[in-house]
Structure 1
Amino acid sequence: MEAVVAFISSATVTQVIIGTVVILLSYYMWKRPANFPPGPIGLPVAGIIPFIGKYPEQTFLKFSKQYGPVIGVRLGMNDFVVLNDYESITEALMKNKELVSGRPTHPLFEVVGEGYGIAVVDFSTFFKNQKKFGLVTLKGFGVGKKGMEERIFEEIFYINQAIHENIGKPHNLHKLLVNAMSNNVSSLVCGKRFDYTDKKFERMNYHLGRGYNDPETNKFNIFIRFAPYLRHIPPFSTSLDKLRNDVVKIHEILNEIIDEHRATLDCNSPRDFIDAFLIEMKKENNPDFSEKQLIHYCVDLFIAGIDTTTNTLRWAIIILLHYPKCQKKLRDEIVATIGTETKTTMSDRAKMPYTCAFMEELFRFRTVVPLGIVHKTNGNVKIGGYDVPKDTQVICNIWAVHNDPKLWKDPEKFDPQRFLDNEGNFVQSTKHLIAFSLGHRRCPGEVLARMEVFLILVSLLQRFEFVQGPSGLPDINAGANGGTFNPDPFSVVVRDI
């Protein structure tokens, strides 16, 4: 009898312990700060990661219809705040920009940036000084000016030449566009363009593309982004190792280029961004300008200048295939304005309202950075009436703004007319178009990206017609969604006009 009582007592103690653990885990799982935005918590440890799907921006928008535009979601073991409408995003990034412009400490950011560069460093005096230096320096080397137009036109010559080699044949233009965008950045950063067959150039573009924009790598890294503990578990750890290796290779190549610059540096006549940075490094009491900062800054400039613009142009080509009437209307306006031989300039935009409207709708319709780069609160802040504590990660769902039916009629349709008035005049970008983000973290490459898209698009349509290849129309809605939204690989037939 005593043995039975002892067994029951032991079982009761075990049940109490298990029950206590369950209660504590449940408490931790459901516990949130007071007045935190409502939203789904999901599963222990994983949160809602198993349910976000291939397109997290669309999943977040669905949740917002249940909980409201400002939602709190648990991704992995951390609570994020996701902003799903224009009002909440502007409240965070404009009204409270000093408090919502940080970057979180994250294993991915550590691998990519190591605490240096511009894209993933935290908001601080260091960030402000580096951003100011970059904007002033790049503007000094022609960004937004006639000098940059000439550099882009030099690259357009090589684009046209490469296209002519495959005229009338099915061809994937992805690598060609990557090379061209990389050379546009290189002309600013390194003071030169590279031949497309240059081995160093090929290696750098390969590692930039695989490490940062490869769909296979990104499909794992996007989960590490939300649940850092996954970096220790294959295949996520393998993907992160690939990224780490690519970063090392890119740094090796940039070190060679920087050494060449250092050996030929003339402090009285800087040739490019690297020269300007090396000159800053020589100044006394200037610790923010270091060798490591230079390398990471260069990487950030290449990443920002290649991937988003390349994929914007790829989406543009897909749209031209799906909407041949738009392609004809664009070409008719371009030819009527500048003919088929004259080089266009940025000043021609005023005479090409439909072309400008097409570009704006392109930026809206295919938002290439749907969720932006994650922000972090630098202090307690109120957004949408909710209290968001310091050090909370904040995601801005730009895609949701660009697909909000309250702002855009039939947002799922591509329609440049929404940027034209009744007389056919171009309506300057509506405030609701935020493809380049807002506030302190607004993309510093916006001016260059807009120049490239306009000049390249106009120049291509002056000379070529784009038609679908034998494999049919590429999917206009599907793509690989990592940090950026990339079209699936596709081929196109290009004809002379």
Structure 2
Amino acid sequence: MLEVACGLRPSHAYLSEVLQFIHTHPFQRNCSHHKMLAEVLLSVLFLIVCVYFLDAKPKNLPPGLWGLPVVGYIFSTLPFPEQIKNLQRRFGDIASWRIGSRITILISDFAAIKSALGHPNLATRADFFSFNIFSHFENMGILSSNGPQWQHARRFALHHLKDFGMGKTSLEDTIIPEVNQLINEISKQEGEPMEISNALNVSILNVIWKLVADRRYNINDEEILTFQKMIFEDFENAQGPVMLLDYFPWLFHILPSWVINKVMGVNITEYNRNTLNDFHKQIVEEHKKSRIPHNPRDYIDAYLDKEEEEKHNPNSSFKFELFDLLITMGDLFVAGSETTSSTFRWMIALMAVNPDVQTKVQAEIDAAVPRDRIPNLNDRKNLQYLEAMLNEVHRHASFTPLGIPHMVSEDTDLEGYVLPKGSIVMANTSNCHFNPRYWKYPKTFYPEHFIDEKGKCMNKKEGFLPFSIGRRVCLGETLARTELFLFTSAVLQQFTIKSPPGEKIVAETDPSKLIFNHVKPYKVVFERRTQTI
């Protein structure tokens, strides 16, 4: 080997020995190893660079929680409502929180919420799985549709529901029989501890049924009880594990079907949706056979008239078709029943917890309404404290504490920040409703929050947005307010609401519900005041 090292020409024997040396010497093996290691490191570096640029935090994003790629910031031991409060406390009234690959913007200031939800770029409904499953992931209906389809659907619904009484005193003729039905059901258990039974849900649903399909159900009708049960199940499922698919939509394509169905309850939601659609379709077919064209009895008839008209309009941007009608019917029943029923349950609990307020409301009713009848809409102007009490119920309950999520359709400036296209916007209405900036006694049930210096009730007030605000404001606000006024005034005229003997109920949010503020389950006693009718 010395000759080789000195540069002398080797013999064949020496050449064979050299080749074997090169082949077997550790240096050669180390070179291959180092080369492979370098390739791996370069690949990792390339991946890191890609992730960095793809996962880069957008410029001028509101301060908040960013977290890791793919999963975002999801690691916390706090309950969800506490996480929201903590986010606002740490980062202010406009904060960001990335969950999965989606950026959520939480807005907690009333003025900023008003500005944001009034912006056309924020009128889009969030493309959540838990929303779109009800419309079969089509841009139809009212609640989850967007663009021209939503604009036409909302405008059409508002116009024709008003034609059939929504927002008018004529609706009283529809609501009063339901009020009497509820009072009769309560009377069967007066003086005994009781829950607010399905009678309330059916009574509220019947009002919607009258407007939409011109039909009514008895309290114990199996069809309507099944219908109501499905709506309740859908509300429950929407607040469960299925929410993961809203923020991690790719999970739907990789999780086993038993997880999607058994854990997330997607199969139950699909079953309820399909069953209700079939039921609605049957009702529509009955209307087709019995209706008189251009002489509508209800929303379905009006829609069918418009559908016939639009068949001859090739330039129409609104899809008037059976499927859209079925989705819209589902939207109206879901949005117009459980929310009002839940708010009424809050009112009952709050009256039992605040007997001094209840007594003051009853004194006002007794002074304004003759003993031989229940209150009607003409009495409304004389029941200002009752109206203020109902507003305080809305404030205290904050049934949709984060509103209904919106989505940013284009990069949008807000209060010096940039809200990126595709980000989710949530209005922290609960923070507004309990903020001392707007309320004298934010944690106290105090109807005087809504009484002005002239003793009149204020329905619009800074910091108050129970029906949202802006372009997506609840189209059923006037209906809900009318129902709550008539049901509440009649029940409080007839009964005094008390906690059961030896018990003390609380009017607090059920912590097991993540999205909607349902009151904790309770029983109360309805004690007859005076037989007035």
Taking structure 2 as the reference length, the TM-score comes to: 0.86
Identity of aligned residues (%): 25
Cα deviation for residue 230 of structure 1 reads 4.3
**Match 1:379 to one of 402, 410, 415:** 410
Match of 2:19 in 1: none
Measured against aligned partners, the alpha-carbon deviations of 1:318-347 in whole angstroms (never above 9, x if no partner) come to: 111111111111111111111443232223
1:89 to 113, 136, 160: 113
The answer on whether the counterparts of 1:34 and 1:387 sit within 8 Å (CA) in structure 2 is: yes
The reply on whether 1:154 has 2:180 as its aligned counterpart is no
Work out which structure has the larger RCO, using CA pairs closer than 8 Å and 6 or more positions apart in sequence: 1
Residue 162 (structure 2) pairs with residue 119 (structure 1): no
Superposed displacement of residue 265, structure 1 = 0.9
CA distance in 2, matches of 1:473, 1:218: 28
> How far apart are the structure 1 equivalents of 2:246 and 2:75?
14
Of the three residues 141, 163, 172, the one matched with 2:186 is 163
* Cα distance in structure 1, aligned partners of 2:130 and 2:225: 25
Shift of 1:86: 0.8
1:280 aligns with 2:306: yes
Partner of 1:495: 527
Query: Does residue 218 in structure 1 map to residue 250 in structure 2?
Result: no
Contact 1:156–1:459 at 8 Å: present in 2 too?
yes
Partner of 2:205: 182
Per mean C-alpha deviation after superposition, the further-off stretch among 199-208 and 265-274 is 199-208
Q: 104, 109, 128: which one pairs with 2:131? A: 109
The AA in structure 2 aligned to 1:464 is F
Deviation at 1:5, TM superposition (A): 5.7
Cα distance in 1 for residues equivalent to 2:79 and 2:244: 11
Q: TM-score, normalised by structure 1?
A: 0.92
Do the aligned partners of 2:140 and 2:150 also contact (CA within 8 Å) in 1? Answer: no
Task: Indicate the structure (1 or 2) with the bigger Cα radius of gyration.
Answer: 2
* Correspondence for 2:216: 193
Pair 60,426 (structure 1): closer, same or farther in 2 beyond 3 Å: same
Partner of 2:61: 36
Corresponding position: 1:312 with 2:340: no
Match of 2:4 in 1: none
1:48 to 47, 53, 73: 73
Corresponding pairs, count: 490
Q: Which amino acid aligns with 1:51?
A: S
1:270-349 equivalence runs, <5 A: 270-283=296-309, 284-285=312-313, 288-349=319-380
Shift of 1:9: 5.4
d(CA) in 1 for partners of 2:503, 2:220: 30
The SS at the match of 1:282 is helix
Aligned-partner Cα distance in 2 for 1:52–1:164? 46
1:440 to 1:422, Cα distance in 2 relative to 1, 3 A: closer
CA shift digits 1:378-424 (9 cap, x unpaired)? 22211111112333221111112112221123312211111124564
Return the offset for 1:301.
Answer: 0.5
1:486 aligns with 2:518: yes
Cα offsets for 1:52-110 (capped at 9, x unmatched): 85444x5334212322211121012211222111121111122x2x2210123332233
Secondary structure in 1 matching 2:240: helix
Q: Name the CA distance, whole Å, in 1 between partners of 2:333 and 2:306.
A: 20
Residue by residue over 1:22-65, the C-alpha shift from the partner in whole angstroms, topping out at 9 and shown as x without a partner, is 56445544x12221212102344332344385444x53342123
Question: Which residue is 1:208 aligned to?
Answer: 231
What do the CA deviations read for 1:194-225 (whole angstroms, capped 9, x no partner)?
112223222221212112x12x5522233333
Q: Residue 105 of structure 2 aligns to a residue in which SS? A: strand
Q: CA separation of 1:422/1:288 partners in 2, compared to 1, >3 Å: closer, same or farther?
A: same
Q: Give the one of 69, 75, 99 matched to 2:121.
A: 99
Q: 1:464 aligns with which of 484, 495, 510?
A: 495
3-state SS of paired residue (2:122): coil
Moved more, 185-194 or 429-438: 429-438
Q: 1:441 aligns with which of 472, 480, 485?
A: 472
Q: Within 1, Cα distance between the matches of 2:191 and 2:244?
A: 41
In the alignment, which residue of structure 2 is the partner of 1:249?
275
Residue pair 1:224, 1:236 contacting (<8 A) in 2 also: no
2:21 aligned partner: none
Q: Deviations over 1:409-451 (max 9, x none)?
A: 3312211111124564434431321111111100000000000
Q: Are 1:228 and 2:249 an aligned pair?
A: yes
1:172 maps onto 2:195 in alignment = yes
AA partner of residue 144 (structure 1)? G
Say if 1:143 and 1:109 are closer, same or farther in 2 by CA, change over 3 A. Answer: same
1:135–1:40 Cα change, 3 Å? same
Partner Cα separation in structure 2 for residue 188 and residue 435 of structure 1: 23
Q: Following the alignment from structure 1 to structure 2, what is the Cα–Cα distance between the partners of residues 229 and 477?
A: 36
Q: Tell me if structure 1 keeps the 8 A contact 2:294–2:305.
A: no
Match of 2:430 among 385, 399, 403: 399
Q: Within 2, Cα distance between the matches of 1:125 and 1:183?
A: 31
Worse-superposed segment, 484-493 or 180-189: 484-493
The aligned residue for residue 70 of structure 1 is 94
